[in-house]
Chain A
Amino acid sequence: MRYESGMNGKEYKPQDYPLPYVVEDIRQWPIYKLTENKQNFIDEVRLRVREKLKARFASEKSLRNELANVLYQERIRLTEKPWKADPPDERQFWNGLKSKLIKLEQVEDNSTLNEEALLDEIINRYVNEIVGDFKPGAFGIARTILPQFFGRILSAAPGKWFKTVAGNMRTIHEKIPITGDIEKIRHLATKGTVVVVPTHFSNMDSIMVGWILNEMGLPAFTYGAGLNLFSIKILSHFMSRLGAYKVDRRKKNGVYLETLKMYSTVALQRGAHSIFFPGGTRSRSGQIETKLKLGLLGTAVEAQKLHYMNFPVETAPKIFVVPCIINYHFVLEAHALINDYLKETGKERFYKENDEYSTSFRLVRFIFKFFSASSSLSVSFGEVMDVLGNKVDDEGNSYNHLGQNINVKNYFITNGELKTDEQRDAEYTKILGERIVDNYHRFNVVLTSHLVCFTFFELLRRKYGGYDLFTLLRTPSDEVSIPYAEVVESVGRVKEKLKEMNELKEVLISPELRWNVDKIIDHGMRNINMYHSLSPLTKNGDYMGSEDLKLLYYYHNRLEGYGLEKAI
């Protein structure tokens, strides 16, 4: 299945996947080399964080204050948010640090004990906690298991009992169309370091992206996974061997954040292809990310600058940023996410209803339905860019928005000299972020369910114009309805608008959007209702309604920001 993307390059068909690895020998993969020299890597991260923080907290006193600050925050975390994934000696370590810090304030002679040593201890602990691993053995197992796992699910779906595993893989790729300039991404992965920046809607995302990149024949990527996921044994076993490093979102102290950023910077400098979720956490509203977290993204800019400092411009390795948009007809956690969002925006105006269900049962049901749905999702890659968001050609040369050939090194030059300037680079990261968000919108693939949910909710909004959002969402679902004929007309108009925007390369549309409106509505309804127990979209005779307005709103939000409401 192919979407009109307007991009050049070789197009792969579903049966072509998995593509051959661009680098055949796993031992030549950057991530393999990185873990082969793991101790050396850890030492470099440690040393460089220490130098950076020493420069920032130049006096003994300011460093001591920072240490006390870290200790204070860590002790709060220990009592308020303890996790199963925390190491058993956590409390002991911080208590020990506390006594040392107290001693430091009392003792005059600091020959054996000093602030720097304590800083070192903390950094050391953090790096060793964060660091990931890559084991070809585990990678091989995962590679064999995953297709079988997906295959099993598929063969369990009605009518697919006798398919072979290979046949099933083909079905998967028919169901998960991948669009974008795949060949270019493959080629550039051999010329430089690739940073994939996906949208984030579901916990499925990291597995999905990792798997897709593997199917594309790219060397394994490293990525930050939430520390909480590591408390699930089997997940932890594989993730920690497949290049995932641990990110603890509870730790917000400066030493931890610097260590994490340095980890990513050094990994990039050593050529490790990386996945960042620049939205930070999953989108709560269901809307495409418009504001990005710039911390990890900034390490791409930093690593590129350091390449120019360490290598002559002709041989300096280049870092390529590739936006990736994952679109699901339905999202596993939709219910919880939209409730979070409404709680956040509505504050006390919104009464949260309880929705308790067995998570594991839901998960199994989700995975089952996910792969048996006629077309569950799409994965779309945007333009390959440099760290300033300029487009690059097939060979990785940068071109600005005017098509002028650009030497990226020049962005880091002031008065003829390569200079370090954190504020400047932070602004560059913002510019990169803007380009990524722009790509998210332009390479977003509109699915039938999004179109129908968007249009239907906007019609409700119009009909109940006097209500504010929260009142509308609280309206009993049996009271809201729109004549089906009216929905058909509006969906038709929005569809036409989307097709126009597609021509102008402002958005991508799934092939089903070329069908007639009745079929589109039917397809959208079937797909979105497949998973949720209360249907966001219902049809009773000549009327359309909804059993769950919050979910309807969540899926509607996916097309927010395109100005489509004017087309209705």
Chain B
Amino acid sequence: MSANRPVGVIGAGSFGSAIANLLAENQEVLLYERNIETREQLNRERKVKGFDLHPNIRLSDSLEQIASSCYLIFPAVPSQFFKNMIIDFSPYLRPDHIMIHTTKGLHCEFDIDKADAKTIRLKEIKTMSELILQETGIVRVGSIAGPNLALELMDKQPAATVVASRFDEVIREGVAALKSDRFQVYGTRDILGIELTGVLKNYVAIAAGAMSGLGFGENARALLITRGMAEMIYIGKALGADKRSFLGMAGIGDLIATCSSPKSRNFTVGYRIAKGEKLEDIVASLGEVAEGIRTLKIGKLIVEHTGVNAPLLQTIYKVIFEGLPMERAVKFLMRYPVSADAEFLSL
């Protein structure tokens, strides 16, 4: 682990701050925040959503400073801003930097609001690790994902995550920097699987929020989680990922957490839609980005491009963007023909 050098975190949003707090238990942390107001407020109050910022954390306004001070860097920036951030960062980065991103989103080289599923190329849809490789000289890239609701991490509750990288070295560095008595860290080389499961669970979480908004209970939620995961595996498979990671901490683990918690932004979007609010209003009042909205749009393009059968994604898309009433959506899904149980295990 980085004994002498601080670890860098990019983005002081709620997840960035939570990860910075975890890292700060083991070493000094340099936390980069682009927004002046946010940065100054944090410096002044040293609080995020009511929780204390660890004293080992220093705020930074310079990507250059992060690159020259840190070997290990954790970007925690929403997918829609990720590319601009990494391009700005790139001139300062070298092959001896290790970057482990925490973003559960995808980047598209095309405009997701105007794209036609038939003409898109899957190569133009990139995970954040692919984006880092494309835009920087860093080779040792990793990703973390897992049931990591930011507020519970800030509250110092026990949790676990998975560090994924094709380099064992990156996994080792990630584990050493993050591990603590209240945070378990698993490792895997399946970075694509980890990234995709982290992304795809977003839309299932919206569906879970919607179910909750309709007042449905635990049976319905369990049905949703189980079949949602199966659908994620099918989509992941179409994008070249193995099912294994979907059944682990970052897959089913994260799915259970986000689908059960009103603390998740994605869940909140679904919940308020079911309560009859308009999407624009919800997005405006959330203040922060719900990755699930983007995931739905990109996911729809992917399933239509590849021909994967994804009734849940298609239906929740119609509810969110096309005004399909929730009651009809539920009816449609419940009448959907089903096959053998746990059939995805033989994929």
Q: For the complex, is B96 an interface residue (Cβ under 8 Å from A)?
A: yes
Is the C-beta of B137 less than 8 angstroms from some C-beta in chain A? yes
Interchain CB contact (< 8 A) of A402 among B1, B5, B94, B137: B137
Contacts of A407 in B (CB 8 A): 94-95
A52 to nearest B CB, angstroms?
19
Residues of B within 8 A of A416 (CB): 4-5, 71, 96
Q: Does B56 contact A (CB under 8 A)?
A: no
Segment touching B, from A131-139, A423-431, A440-448, A486-494: A423-431
B173 to chain A, nearest CB (A): 7
> Which residues 68-103 of B have a CB within 8 angstroms of A?
71-72, 90-91, 94-96, 98
A414 with B71, Cβ < 8 A, contacts A400-B137, A421-B168, A423-B169 known: yes
Residue A406 lies at the interface, judged by CB distance under 8 Å to chain B: yes
Specify which chain A residues have a CB less than 8 angstroms from the CB of B3 in the assembled complex: 415
Shortest distance between the CB of B225 and any CB in chain A (Å): 35
The one of A388, A408, A421 that contacts B169, using a Cβ cutoff of 8 Å: A421
Query: B167 touches which one: A413, A415, A427 (CB < 8 A)?
Result: A427
What residues of A have a CB within 8 angstroms of the CB of B94 in the complex?
406-407, 410
A402-B135 contact given A407-B94, A411-B95, A414-B96, CB 8 Å threshold? yes
A397 → B minimal CB distance (Å) = 14
A286 CB to nearest B CB, Å: 27
Bound CA–CA A406/B95 (angstroms): 8
A407 → B minimal CB distance (Å): 7
Task: Flag whether A404 is at the interface (Cβ < 8 A).
Answer: yes
> Is B26 in contact with chain A by the CB < 8 A criterion?
no
A425, B2: Cα distance in complex, Å: 21
- Contact indicator B95/A424 (Cβ below 8 Å): no
Q: Which residues of A lie under 8 Å from residue B96 when comparing CB positions?
A: 410-411, 413-414, 416
- In the complex, are the beta carbons of A427 and B166 less than 8 A apart? yes
CB-CB contacts of A384-401 with B at 8 A, as 1s and 0s? 000010000000000010
Digitize A475-514: 1 where CB-to-B-CB distance is under 8 Å, 0 elsewhere. 0000000000000000000000000000000000000000
Q: B315 to chain A: which residues have CB within 8 Å?
A: none
With a cutoff of 8 Å between Cβ atoms, the chain B residues found around residue A415 in the complex are 1-3, 5, 71-72, 173
B5 in contact with A424 (CB, 8 Å): no
Beta-carbon contact of A431 and B139 below 8 Å: yes
Given contacts A402-B90, A416-B71, A421-B169, contact A411 B5 (CB under 8 A): no
Query: Are A424 and B137 in contact (CB-based, < 8 A)?
Result: no
Q: Does B180 contact A (CB under 8 A)?
A: no
**Does B314 sit at the interface, judged by CB under 8 A?**
no
- Residue of A with least CB distance to B168: A423
Instruction: Check A388–B71 contact: CB distance below 8 A.
Output: no
Q: Which of A415, A416, A421, A424 has the most CB of B within 10 A?
A: A415
Contacts known (A404-B91, A410-B94); A388 close to B168, Cβ less than 8 A:
no
Q: Give every chain B residue within 8 A of A388 (Cβ-Cβ).
A: 95, 139
Does the CB pair A411–B139 fall under 8 Å? yes
B136 at the interface (CB under 8 A from A): yes
A415→B140 CA distance, assembly (Å): 12
Provide the bound-state CA to CA distance between A532 and B109, in Å. 49
Task: Let me know if B95 and A410 touch, CB within 8 A.
Answer: yes
Contact status B137-A404, CB under 8 Å: yes
Residue of B nearest to A422 (CB): B168
In the complex, chain A residues whose CB is within 8 Å of the CB of B72 = 415
Encoded as 1 (CB less than 8 Å from any A CB) or 0, chain B from 1 to 43 comes to 1111100000000000000000000000000000000000000
How distant is B175 from chain A, measured CB to nearest CB, in Å?
Answer: 14
**Which residues from B are CB-within-8-Å of A424?**
140, 167-169
Q: How far is the CA of A413 from the CA of B137 in the complex (A)?
A: 14
CB under 8 Å from chain A, chain B span 131-176: 135-137, 139-140, 166-169, 173
CA distance A438 to B228 in the complex (A): 38
Bound CA–CA A421/B169 (angstroms) = 8
A304 → chain B closest CB, angstroms: 13
CB-CB under 8 A from A410, the residues of chain B are 94-96
Which chain A positions have C-beta within 8 A of B1? 415
Instruction: Say yes or no: A406 contacts B137, CB within 8 Å.
Output: yes
For A400, A407, A427, the residue with the greatest tally of chain B CB atoms inside 10 Å of its CB is A427
Quick one: CB contact mask for A422-465 with B, threshold 8 Å, 1 for yes?
01100110010000000000000000000000000000000000
What distance in Å separates the Cβ of B51 from its nearest Cβ neighbour in chain A? 30
Q: Is the CB of A414 within 8 A of B169?
A: yes
A388-B133 Cα distance, complex, nearest whole Å: 13
CB distance from B209 to the nearest CB of A (A): 40
Once the chains are docked, how many angstroms separate the CA of A427 from the CA of B169? 11
Contacts of A431 in B (CB 8 A): 139
Q: Which residues of B contact A400 (CB under 8 A)?
A: 137
Cβ contacts under 8 Å, B167 to chain A = 423-424, 427
A406 to B90, CA, bound (A): 13
Which residue of the partner chain A has the closest CB to B97? A410
Chain B residues near A423 (CB, 8 Å)? 167-169
Contact with B along A148-189 (1 / 0, CB 8 A): 000000000000000000000000000000000000000000
Q: In this complex, what residue of A is CB-closest to B87?
A: A402
A419 to B98 alpha-carbon distance, docked (Å): 14
Q: Is the CB of B98 within 8 A of A414?
A: yes
Q: B30 CB to closest chain A CB, in angstroms? A: 16
- Whether B136 and A402, one on each chain, are in contact in the complex, defined by CB atoms closer than 8 angstroms, is yes
In angstroms, Cα B3 to Cα A415, docked, is 9
Distance of A416 Cα from B68 Cα, bound (Å): 12
Q: How far apart are the CA atoms of A115 and B86 in the complex, in Å?
A: 54
A409 to nearest B CB, angstroms?
Answer: 8
A411 to B141, CA, bound (A): 12
Given the complex, which residues of B lie within 8 Å of A404, measured CB to CB?
90-91, 137
In the complex, what's the smallest C-beta–C-beta distance from B189 to chain A, in angstroms? 9
Query: For the complex, what is the distance from the CA of A413 to the CA of B139, rounded to whole Å?
Result: 12
Residues of chain A with a CB closer than 8 A to B71's CB: 414-416
Chain B residues with CB under 8 Å of A427's CB are 166-167
What separation, in Å, do the CA atoms of A109 and B94 have in the docked complex? 55
Residues of A within 8 A of B4 (CB): 416
Residues of chain A in range 113-129 having any CB-CB distance to chain B below 8 Å:
none
- Beyond A404-B90, A427-B167, A428-B139, 10 extra complex contacts between A and B, CB < 8 Å: A407-B95, A410-B96, A413-B95, A414-B169, A414-B173, A415-B5, A416-B5, A421-B168, A423-B167, A424-B167
B positions within 8 Å CB-CB of A: 1-5, 71-72, 90-91, 94-96, 98, 135-137, 139-140, 166-169, 173
Can you list the 3 inter-chain pairs with the closest CB atoms, starting with the nearest?
A410-B96, A413-B96, A410-B95
Q: 20 A–B contact pairs at CB < 8 A? A: A388-B139, A402-B90, A404-B90, A406-B94, A406-B95, A406-B137, A407-B94, A408-B95, A410-B94, A413-B95, A413-B96, A414-B96, A415-B2, A416-B5, A421-B169, A423-B168, A424-B167, A424-B168, A424-B169, A428-B139
